[in-house]
């Protein structure tokens, strides 16, 4: 089993470009697994973890409802935002500047073959990171992601998640609101959930801006501990 994960920070990158790159990495892993099985070889598969920020974009998962996007194409253009239907699970979500998006593209055969455990570990990574900032973040039963004040009228989501897995290879991932312009969430029903708000780390801490690099370092620290992984920094290829 190969528990080394190649880390790349793509910076601010167009959503479609990043999605296409994910697909390339995903296909390489799947193709290697198929070849190993067909030829009886045991060539290690490569794991990846991508950090990225996207320009304003809305994405709708396979089970999503278009009615949860509350604006038309002209209004999206006016807000300098784009829209994509994509192949992850979940409903509608927003990505934009000031948000840390993480795409782990892992061969779970290198770690554990349990997609629910995988999602819980991603949630735990975020929960432990937010705890370092003094926030008590939690899971909300039946709602993937990370929340604050669960079970109260003030429940609000701080991190959205949506993944795809095939042959135990993952793609897509999580989006943690750090310095995000929360006004963009008003243009949709986040994740199709009408009665709960959305928040960000800087709002919760009452600070104008949070150091994104610092948050990424904390996320990686907890990712490594939970997945018992080693990180290997790779230069950008996009």
Q: Which residues are catalytic?
A: 191
- Using alpha carbons, list the distances in angstroms from residue 50 to 37, 106, 199: 27, 11, 23
Using only C-alpha atoms, the chain has a radius of gyration, in whole angstroms, of: 18
Report the alpha-carbon distance of residue 6 to residue 11 in Å, rounded.
Answer: 16
- Using alpha carbons, list the distances in angstroms from residue 11 to 3, 62, 154, 235: 24, 27, 33, 12
């Amino acid at each position: 089993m190969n528990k080394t994960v190649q880390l790349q920070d793509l910076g601010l990158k167009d959503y479609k470009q990043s999605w296409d790159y994910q697909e390339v990495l995903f296909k390489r892993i799947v193709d290697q697994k198929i070849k190993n099985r067909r030829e009886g070889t045991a060539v290690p598969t490569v794991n990846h973890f991508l950090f990225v920020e996207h320009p304003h974009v809305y994405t709708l998962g396979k089970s999503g409802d278009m009615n949860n996007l509350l604006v038309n194409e002209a209004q999206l253009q006016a807000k300098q935002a784009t829209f994509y239907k994509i192949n992850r699970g979940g409903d509608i979500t927003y990505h934009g500047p000031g948000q840390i998006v993480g795409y782990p593209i892992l061969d779970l055969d290198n770690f554990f073959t349990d997609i629910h455990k995988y999602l819980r570990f991603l949630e735990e990574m975020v929960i432990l990171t937010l705890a370092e900032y003094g926030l008590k973040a939690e899971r909300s039963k039946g709602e993937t992601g990370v929340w604050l004040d669960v079970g109260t009228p003030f429940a609000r989501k701080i991190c959205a998640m949506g993944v795809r897995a095939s042959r135990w290879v993952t793609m897509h991932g999580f989006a943690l609101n750090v310095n995000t312009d929360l006004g963009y969430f008003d243009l949709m029903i986040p994740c199709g959930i009408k009665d709960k708000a959305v928040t960000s780390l800087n709002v919760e801490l009452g600070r104008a801006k949070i150091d994104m690099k610092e948050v990424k370092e904390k996320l990686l620290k907890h990712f490594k501990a939970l997945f018992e992984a080693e990180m290997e920094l790779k230069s950008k290829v996009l």
